[in-house]
Structure 1
Amino acid sequence: MNYKANIMEFCKRLGLDTIGFTRLRRFDELQEFLESRRQNGLQNEFEIEDIESRINPMLYMEEGKTIISIAFPYLFSKEINGDIYFSKYTRGEDYHKVVSMYLRRICEYIENIGGRAKYFVDSNALPERYIANLCGIGFLGKNNMIITKKYGSYVFLGEIITDLFIEEDSPIECECNECNLCMRACPTKCINEGKTNPNICLSYITQKKHIEDEWFDKINGRIFGCDTCQDLCPFNRYAELSNINEFKPFEYMESINEDEIVNLNNKAFKEKYASTSSGWRGKNILTRNTMIQLMKNGRYKGPISFSSPYIEDYYCRLLKHFKL
């Protein structure tokens, strides 16, 4: 049986057309790089610290033979509406749930043709962008994102480990060449060739529970995430839109109700924002980041009572910072 052709055909029937394969092995070539990042303080709180779990995929399936990487395009619109906005990847259904649903179906198919399979989405130790490059999904750009030929960098990644032997694909060399648009445009200059610092990436800053006052001016309308390096990337100029309906943006994620978010209660949060990939950090993060922009623009004076001491603390800090 031609496992590779059959799996690719099954994925295409699901609407997934960017799939690649690589041999399951230790990625010892990453150890020095990961050690250097740790020693230079370039890891952040969302990363798994144990390097062995990042370079040894056999820990997840000892008898595994192949890793499958699949790209899930999520872009439905390139527009930014207003001066307060959510990053494009957060505007539809939470990708953890959506990607898991698709990968589960692919694993079931693999098991039906005689293999074993286990899937992974984001919150695991696998070096997914490195694996995606090995699988020929795309090249690793200077902005440290996988850039695919068809969808640019507007993709989520999912992996499957299987015990089937499948012919592997070839990695793609970086095609950024002399282009440095992402490095020049990054608001915090976190992107540097060979030494990108995720701890000062605005996408990370908007998700932190506690941020320093120095970031209040830099957040600049970002409620959750940052798209700056992607929006300016030439490879995204002609990126095709997604056909995965689950990622279609919710109306309230594109037409922002500032008053609702800045006074967000549990009911509205659970009914709306909790179902997106911005919901995992809780409602206070969304309220805080919206409040920063409104106070920066002089459009927010504060409620009669605060939803939490956390929000009240940021309100007082923002009053002082913006001299209101």
Structure 2
Amino acid sequence: MDSNYIKKLAYSFGADVCGIGSIDRFKDAPKGFHPLDIYPEAKSVISIGKHFPASLFAANTKAPYTLVKNKSVQLLDDIAIKLTFHIEDQGYKAIPIPSDEPYEYWDSENKHGRGILSLKHAAQACGVGCIGKNTLLVNEKYGNRLYLGAVITNIELASDALSRNLCIESCNLCLKSCPQSALDGTTIIQKKCRQSCISSTPGGGFIYSCYTCREVCPFSKISSDS
């Protein structure tokens, strides 16, 4: 099994993007959140993504965005699981990473959570895109409109070329527009962000109520055909 085969498989399962990075691309991962902390025999990481339509930004309600986000996460988990089964059927090992990760690490005082693997950093290490000042991944084809997933495997796969830096150096729209002032150009203060990013509805549900940093970015409405 080679990288091209894995990527064709991921696309056939419904991924819009797929990139691969060898384990040495993750040397700067925080202790406890490295692919080897999840699976000690890991040799490669497979990053996958689904894009969402720019039209969602035109809606006067956040409910459609919430619908697409929730469904996309389910689809990414399905793709990761299918990849895992297929890789295992070929005699290798694979570990799917949840797309909407349950926080095993949680700092309650700062409301700061970490998934077992940073999917955006994994995507960057796999050449899918670069991380912008708003801490979102930016992809050349789909801009910042990607939700992400991943699979860790013990197959030694060739790495994709890293993405060039797409974030415009002189642009600070996301930093200036964040209603919570939660961005500093490098990271995000989760405690501030969480105060507005998700809201409960009167009927007992929830919606993703703020995506300003995504919407104001010049890469929010990039055409998927460009």
Higher helix fraction: Structure 1 or Structure 2?
A: 1
Residue number among 150, 159, 165 corresponding to 1:168 in the alignment? 159
1:53 is aligned to 32
Taking the aligned partners of 1:182 and 1:206, their CA distance within structure 2 comes to 14
Q: Letter of the aligned partner of 2:38 in structure 1? A: Y
> Is 1:78 the counterpart of 2:56 in the alignment?
yes
Shift of 1:172: 2.1
Contact 2:50–2:72 under 8 Å retained in 1: no
Superposition TM-score, scaled by structure 2 size:
0.79
Contact 1:87–1:227 under 8 Å retained in 2: no
Superposition TM-score, scaled by structure 1 size:
0.56
Q: Letter of the aligned partner of 2:43 in structure 1? A: K
1:104 is aligned to 81
Q: Letter of the aligned partner of 1:9 in structure 2? A: K
Contact 1:23–1:168 under 8 Å retained in 2: yes
Shift of 1:207: 3.5
Structure-to-structure mapping, 1:133-144, within 5 angstroms: 133-144=124-135
Taking the aligned partners of 1:171 and 1:138, their CA distance within structure 2 comes to 8
Taking the aligned partners of 1:135 and 1:104, their CA distance within structure 2 comes to 19
Taking the aligned partners of 2:32 and 2:79, their CA distance within structure 1 comes to 25
1:9 is aligned to 8
Taking the aligned partners of 1:94 and 1:63, their CA distance within structure 2 comes to 31
Contact 2:182–2:189 under 8 Å retained in 1: yes
Structure 2 gaps, min length 5: 102-114, 201-205
Shift of 1:208: 7.6
Shift of 1:224: 2.5
Taking the aligned partners of 1:12 and 1:139, their CA distance within structure 2 comes to 21
Taking the aligned partners of 2:27 and 2:4, their CA distance within structure 1 comes to 30
Give the percent of matched residue pairs that are identical in Structure 1 and Structure 2.
25
Q: Give CA deviations for 1:101-155 in whole Å, capped at 9, x if unaligned.
A: 1111111222233321110123132122111101011110110000111111111
> Is 1:184 the counterpart of 2:168 in the alignment?
no
Taking the aligned partners of 2:176 and 2:216, their CA distance within structure 1 comes to 10
Taking the aligned partners of 2:183 and 2:53, their CA distance within structure 1 comes to 23
Taking the aligned partners of 1:239 and 1:11, their CA distance within structure 2 comes to 22
1:232 is aligned to 216
1:308 is aligned to none
Count how many residue pairs are aligned between Structure 1 and Structure 2.
Answer: 204
Taking the aligned partners of 1:79 and 1:140, their CA distance within structure 2 comes to 21
Q: Letter of the aligned partner of 2:174 in structure 1? A: C
Contact 1:22–1:134 under 8 Å retained in 2: yes
Return closer, same or farther for 1:136/1:179 CA change in 2, 3 Å cut-off. Answer: same
Return closer, same or farther for 1:142/1:204 CA change in 2, 3 Å cut-off. Answer: same
Taking the aligned partners of 2:96 and 2:7, their CA distance within structure 1 comes to 16
Taking the aligned partners of 2:79 and 2:148, their CA distance within structure 1 comes to 12
Of residues 128-137 and 71-80 in structure 1, the stretch that sits farther from structure 2 once superposed is: 71-80
Structure-to-structure mapping, 1:1-324, within 5 angstroms: 1=1, 3-25=2-24, 27-31=26-30, 52-54=31-33, 56-75=34-53, 77-82=55-60, 84-86=61-63, 88=65, 90-92=66-68, 93-121=70-98, 122-123=100-101, 124-176=115-167, 177-201=169-193, 204-207=195-198, 223-240=207-224
Higher strand fraction: Structure 1 or Structure 2?
A: 2
